[in-house]
Chains A and B, each alone.
Chain A
Amino acid sequence: MSNQIQTAELERLIKASIPDAEVSVRLFSGDDHFEMEVASASFAGLSKIAQHKKVYAALGHHMRETIHALALRTRIKT
């Protein structure tokens, strides 16, 4: 698998482990710098760190290999 990853694949990965997630993701520079917002009701009660960790867990090995930089914002979906 090429080490490039498409934004659609990132969105699919997030929704696979956070089913109610609203995801918007854009490439903001090069082919491995991404900007992403994720909103989910499952973030309620979680610290910002825990919310971001949930997103990183969903991205799995991509966080270490294919994604060089990820500017991430999370929001609690009410």
Chain B
Amino acid sequence: MSNDILKQIDKAVKEHDIILFMKGTPEFPQCGFSQRVAAILDSFGVRYVAVNVLLDPAVRQGIKDYSDWPTIPQLYIGGEFVGGCDIVSEMYESGELKTLLEPYLPADEA
């Protein structure tokens, strides 16, 4: 795994407050798990960057190496790995995700 892909991923993760590595796009998700996480983020109205890992096999594998996490989607908030569909869903249900997203909520909602 060339480490410049890892550097590129690290740069993207650090540059964007909220970044979701997913299969497909929020408008056209290609996998139910990716769709669910995108929908959860959309429900908060937060701005986020979505990276379609299906476009580049190096990114699709690189992100798994970067986080040492075997699956897609992967959500990062504030440069930190939050989890995949299971953990994000659990955090959404417990309200923990809203707390994490607080600084990034649109003005009128905060």
Interface residues of A (CB under 8 A from B): 48-49, 52-53, 56, 63-64, 69-73
In the complex, what residue of chain A is closest to B68 when comparing beta carbons?
Answer: A53
C-alpha gap A63/B70 in the complex (Å): 7
CB contact list, B60-110 vs A, under 8 A: 68-71, 81, 83-87, 90-91
Interface residues of B (CB under 8 A from A): 33, 68-71, 81, 83-87, 90-91
C-alpha gap A73/B88 in the complex (Å): 11
C-alpha gap A77/B85 in the complex (Å): 23
User: Is the Cβ of B90 less than 8 Å from the Cβ of A73?
Assistant: yes
The residues of A that contact B33 with a CB separation of less than 8 Å are 69
Nearest CB of chain A from residue B82's CB, rounded to whole Å:
8
Known: A48-B87, A49-B81, A49-B87. A70 touches B68 (CB 8 A): no
Nearest CB of chain A from residue B7's CB, rounded to whole Å:
22
Supply 11 further A-B pairs (C-beta < 8 A) apart from A48-B90, A52-B86, A53-B69.
A48-B83, A49-B81, A49-B83, A52-B84, A63-B70, A64-B70, A69-B33, A69-B71, A70-B71, A71-B85, A73-B90
